[in-house]
């Protein structure tokens, strides 16, 4: 299993200097996880490809705004997340999932990992789709890139307490849906 | 058993070729115009690169503090500039012109004369030592 939590040496410094090979390496590293995240939020292939392309172009233009090269991944996903919100705003402005500022107690998402059996894969994807966008977003960030709570808070613009409670709720709901299906 | 990450990425792996095309288009935003083999960014010498890194990492984040320190130093240097008697010049600039000082002195002398009541300043005590002492003939009168 790929340990996404390992801080691999990304050529961010070379990318800042404008080296195309560095950008190519960065884009290759993130294109699939980024597309997966965006697709599971907007649920439309062409829109997802457009958002990924815009995210990459924005990253090239605004790399100077990235202070810490080690946070390139969360920074890139943050740009993509904003683009997804803009897409929702255009589609259904009255239902934009604005991140709330409330904090629902100190839920600890826990270190336990969810493992899915082959026969449960479809149900897993269906259950994921049934979550609201804000819960799906934090769960996807947690699953796809194993971002920390702080990184997820930075990406989504929510407070850490809010991220904790959403992640706890999303995992609990997912487990419940998978167990119901098993039964 | 698979992790959610494996399931999610496997589900979208077929989009690989389309993502490669997206990546190429994004890289084109970096590449120079067709036919130009020069690099997208001009080659920057290492001293400039170091200076830029120092600026970005050290000075820019605390630019207000640096600006305040620089202003303080400029003021100190200006006050202590060599050549040019700045304090005396500053003092001279604050003093009134000479003719005004003389008029003031004249006025004060007149007031003094009026107060003391004499026609003028008392004559100076005559100088008794115009002749060298060795040539002074002293007359001693015996009583």
Q: Which of residues 3-22 of A touch B (CB under 8 A)?
A: 4, 17-18, 20
Q: From residue B66, give the alpha-carbon distance in Å to each of B1, B8, B63.
A: 58, 50, 5
The per-residue pLDDT for A119 is 80
User: A56: distance to nearest CA of chain B, Å?
Assistant: 6
pLDDT at B129: 55
Q: Is B139 helix (H, G, I), strand (E, B) or coil?
A: coil
CA-nearest of A175, A67, A61 to A128 is A175
Quick check: A31 contacting B, CB < 8 Å?
yes
Sign of the alpha-carbon torsion through B71, B77, B78, B80: positive
Residue whose pair of structure tokens reads 């709901």 in the numeric block: A173
Q: Do B12 and A39 touch (CB under 8 A)?
A: yes
CA A142/CA A114 separation, integer angstroms: 11
Q: Which residues share a beta bridge with A93?
A: none
Residue B36: what pLDDT?
A: 43
For residue A24, list its beta bridge partners. Answer: none
Q: Are A153 and A163 in contact (CB under 8 A)?
A: yes
Tokens read off for A115: 């493992």
Residue B6 has pLDDT above 60, yes or no: yes
For residue B105, give Cα distances in angstroms to B4, B108, B113, B120, B123. Answer: 100, 5, 12, 15, 19
Q: What is the pLDDT of residue A59?
A: 93
Location of structure tokens 């740009």: A79
Per-residue pLDDT of chain A (183 residues; tens, 9 = 90+): 344 444 567 889 889 888 899 999 999 999 999 999 999 999 999 999 999 999 999 999 999 888 888 899 999 999 999 999 998 888 765 555 444 444 444 444 454 567 787 888 888 888 888 888 889 999 999 999 999 999 999 999 999 999 999 999 999 888 888 787 666
Coil, strand or helix at A145: helix
For residue B83, what are its two tokens?
Answer: 């050549």
Do A60 and B26 make contact, defined as CB atoms within 8 angstroms?
A: yes
Contact A48, A39 (CB under 8 A): yes
Residue among A18, A27, A35 minimizing CB distance to B12: A35
Long-range (24+ apart) CB contacts under 8 A made by B34-38 are none
Q: What is the pLDDT of residues A29-45, one digit of tens each?
A: 999 999 999 999 999 99
Angle between helices A72-91 and A20-42 (to 10 degrees): 40
Q: Which residue of B has its CA nearest to A33?
A: B9
Q: Are B30 and A23 in contact (CB under 8 A)?
A: yes
**ipTM computed for the complex:** 0.81
- CB-based contact B15 A35, cutoff 8 Å: yes
Structure tokens belonging to residue B46: 């290492």
Any CB–CB contact under 8 A between B13 and chain A?
yes
C-alpha span between A123 and A171 (Å, rounded): 14
Task: Give the phi and the psi of residue B131 in degrees, each rounded to 5.
Answer: -100, 140
Distance of alpha carbon A44 from alpha carbon A21, whole angstroms: 30
Mean pLDDT of the B105-134 span: 72
With beta carbons under 8 A apart, name residues in chain A contacting B22. 31, 49, 52-53, 56
**CA A160 and chain centroid, separation:** 15
CA distance A182 to B51: 63
**In this predicted model, which residue has the larger pLDDT, A33 or B3?**
A33
């Amino acid at each position: 299993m790929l340990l996404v939590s390992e801080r691999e040496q990304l050529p961010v410094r070379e990318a800042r200097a404008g080296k195309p090979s560095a950008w190519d390496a960065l884009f290759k590293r993130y294109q699939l996880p980024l597309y997966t995240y965006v697709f599971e939020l907007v649920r439309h292939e062409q829109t997802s490809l457009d958002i990924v392309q815009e995210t990459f172009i924005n990253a090239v233009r605004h790399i100077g705004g990235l202070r810490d090269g080690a946070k390139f991944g969360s920074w890139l996903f943050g740009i993509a997340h904003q683009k997804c919100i803009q897409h929702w705003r255009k589609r259904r402005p009255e239902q934009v999932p604005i991140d709330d500022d409330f904090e629902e107690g100190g839920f600890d998402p826990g270190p336990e990992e969810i493992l899915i059996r082959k026969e449960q894969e479809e149900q897993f994807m269906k259950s994921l789709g049934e979550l609201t966008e804000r819960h799906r977003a934090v769960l996807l960030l947690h699953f796809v890139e194993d971002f920390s709570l702080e990184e997820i808070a930075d990406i989504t613009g929510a407070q850490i307490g809010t991220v904790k409670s959403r992640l706890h709720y999303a995992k609990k709901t997912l487990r419940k849906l998978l167990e119901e299906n098993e039964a | 058993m698979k992790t959610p990450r494996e399931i999610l990425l496997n589900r979208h792996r077929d989009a690989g070729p389309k993502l490669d095309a997206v990546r190429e288009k994004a890289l084109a935003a970096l590449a120079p115009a067709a036919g130009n083999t020069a690099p997208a960014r001009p080659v920057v010498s290492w001293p400039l690169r170091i200076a830029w890194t120092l600026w970005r990492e050290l000075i820019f984040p605390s630019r207000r503090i640096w600006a305040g320190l620089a202003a303080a130093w400029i003021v100190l240097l200006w006050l202590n500039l060599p050549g040019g008697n700045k304090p005396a010049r500053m003092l001279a600039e604050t003093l009134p012109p000479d003719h005004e000082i003389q008029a003031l002195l004249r006025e004060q002398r007149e007031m003094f004369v009026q107060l003391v009541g004499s026609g003028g300043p008392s004559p100076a005590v005559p100088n008794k030592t115009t002749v060298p002492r060795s040539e002074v003939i002293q007359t001693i009168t015996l009583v």
